[in-house]
Structure 1
Amino acid sequence: MSHDNVRVNAAWHRVDRHVLDELREHSVANLGDALDRLNIVDGGIAPIWTGAKAVGTALPVLTVAGDNKAVIAALEHIRPGDILVINAFGYDGRAIVGDNLAQRFAVYGAVGAVVDGYVRDSAIIEELGVPVFARGLTPAGPFKNGPGSIGEPVAIGGVVVNPGDIVAADHDGVIVIPPHRAEEALTAVKEIVARETELDAEVRALRSSLA
């Protein structure tokens, strides 16, 4: 397939893997608190299977509603540790990603995909264990005409995602962390976890005293 009408920007950097590894230890809810409860994608974008979780470097894709030509073109630009972030305009009439593309994401090293749009083949994607987050499911397949772009800023769920941003997603939803705020987020989230541990201990003590 020719990708002549898909624009590509490759002039951006990925964060060190150890940063992703550290962030992977924390929930999206706690990371959201650590970032002043901002940069959280709206709750309409959710995991399509229970237990899906991913932390990666954003590879943004902009595609026409109901068309996944740019998503297919993005395969050759995936690097290990990337998470595809696809602005499909929230369109519910066509699935932008199915089991075949999800498998290819994983083969090329992507840790998952976040789609502001709809997907299909959820049972197979769950069986494959590929973390995919989307607005919903439809069996209708996409067109493949373009145009689109890869590696340029996109908006998903009310949040701007730049190439190289860190995206964390779990059962609660999705958050976007700019690389320059990663260390700040890690410091703050550790304090939050410590405080939550104290609160949990207080509840256990209260439960014991009332037993």
Structure 2
Amino acid sequence: MFEIDSNSIWPTGYLINPMPEPIADRYLQDFEGVPSSIVSDCLGRNVGALGVKPYHGFKHMCGTAVTVRVRPGDNLMLLKALEMARPNDVLVVDGGGDTSRAIVGGIMRAMAMKTGVAGMVINGAIRDREDWAQGGLPVYALACVHRGPSTDATGEINVPVACAGLVVNPGDLIIGDADGVVAVCPSNLDRLLVQCRHLLDRERTIMAQIADGSLPKARFDALLRSKGCPI
């Protein structure tokens, strides 16, 4: 008879998977500073977290997704994930969208900065806003509230999560800036980089044309005619 080793069975509600392969340094360098809006445009303008706001200022964020799913208002598994985190990781936390209790604050910010974590994205709330406002560590969250978390609930680390409408898998490239946060599958990075560079070049050309007055004034007429508008 087949027997299951009881030592290999996780307690119900808990799961800690191995750490994902980190995004190669060359990609982190290539995508550093690339706006989230450019990435979003290249991904069809329909991908990205909704409702999360930067609480750290405007520092760009770029790193490897380490995902966490916690019970709303509890951060036990987030504390464990932070213990596991490596330099250039981004902790992406599904806190169920709950904003009644913060699941990360100033002490965890200090721990993350000591580790070299690249940032945090919280589908929930943070606290100790003045600490985050000093900058240094990017953080995106739905809200800020003074009420703190419990540390006694179940959760999962390095599983697919939904974070403020954004699907994130462990090992995805996470990019964030003042506009928002997007996630990219590693297998798409080479193609996406080419598209981003092309779009950035195109936007630089348009801005230069605006500045020198050479932007065609009737540049949308052909598009309007193709839609039946009598221009």
TM-score normalised according to structure 1 size: 0.92
Q: Which structure's relative contact order is higher, taking Cα pairs within 8 Å and 6+ residues apart?
A: 1
Asked if 1:176 is matched to 2:183, the reply is yes
Residues 63 and 71 in structure 1, CA contact (< 8 A), matched pair in contact too = yes
CA gap of 1:97–1:182, structure 2 versus 1, over 3 A, is same
Question: One-letter code of the match for 1:98?
Answer: G
Shift of 1:41: 1.2
> Which of the residues 34, 41, 59 maps onto 1:33?
41
Question: Which shows bigger deviation, 102-111 or 79-88?
Answer: 102-111
Question: One-letter code of the match for 2:76?
Answer: K
Residues 99 and 121 in structure 1, CA contact (< 8 A), matched pair in contact too = yes
Structure 2 distance, partners of 1:89, 1:106, is 25
Question: One-letter code of the match for 2:29?
Answer: D
Question: Which shows bigger deviation, 93-102 or 18-27?
Answer: 18-27
Question: Which shows bigger deviation, 56-65 or 149-158?
Answer: 149-158
Shift of 1:39: 2.4
Residue deviations 1:78-104, cap 9 Å, x none? 011100000001101100110100111
Deviating 4+ runs (over 3 angstroms): none
Structure 1 distance, partners of 2:88, 2:65, is 9
The answer for the alignment partner of 1:99 in structure 2 is: 106
Structure 2 distance, partners of 1:30, 1:133, is 19
The answer for the alignment partner of 1:149 in structure 2 is: 156
Asked if 1:134 is matched to 2:138, the reply is no
CA gap of 1:146–1:23, structure 2 versus 1, over 3 A, is same
Find the residue that maps to 1:186 and give its secondary structure: helix
Greater Cα radius of gyration, structure 1 or 2: 2
Shift of 1:34: 1.6
Shift of 1:108: 1.5
Residues 17 and 159 in structure 2, CA contact (< 8 A), matched pair in contact too = yes
Shift of 1:204: 0.6
Q: Flag structure 1 segments of 5+ consecutive residues without an equivalent.
A: none
Find the residue that maps to 1:76 and give its secondary structure: helix
The answer for the alignment partner of 2:167 in structure 1 is: 160
After superposition, residues 100-119 of structure 1 pair within 5 angstroms as: 100-119=107-126
TM-score normalised according to structure 2 size: 0.84
Structure 2 distance, partners of 1:12, 1:82, is 10
Aligned-residue Cα RMSD (Å) equals 1.7
Asked if 1:47 is matched to 2:54, the reply is yes
Structure 1 distance, partners of 2:159, 2:191, is 25
The answer for the alignment partner of 2:198 in structure 1 is: 191
Question: One-letter code of the match for 2:201?
Answer: A
Number of residue equivalences:
204
Residue deviations 1:103-128, cap 9 Å, x none? 11121121110000000111112225
CA gap of 1:20–1:38, structure 2 versus 1, over 3 A, is farther
Residues 24 and 55 in structure 1, CA contact (< 8 A), matched pair in contact too = yes
Question: One-letter code of the match for 1:99?
Answer: G
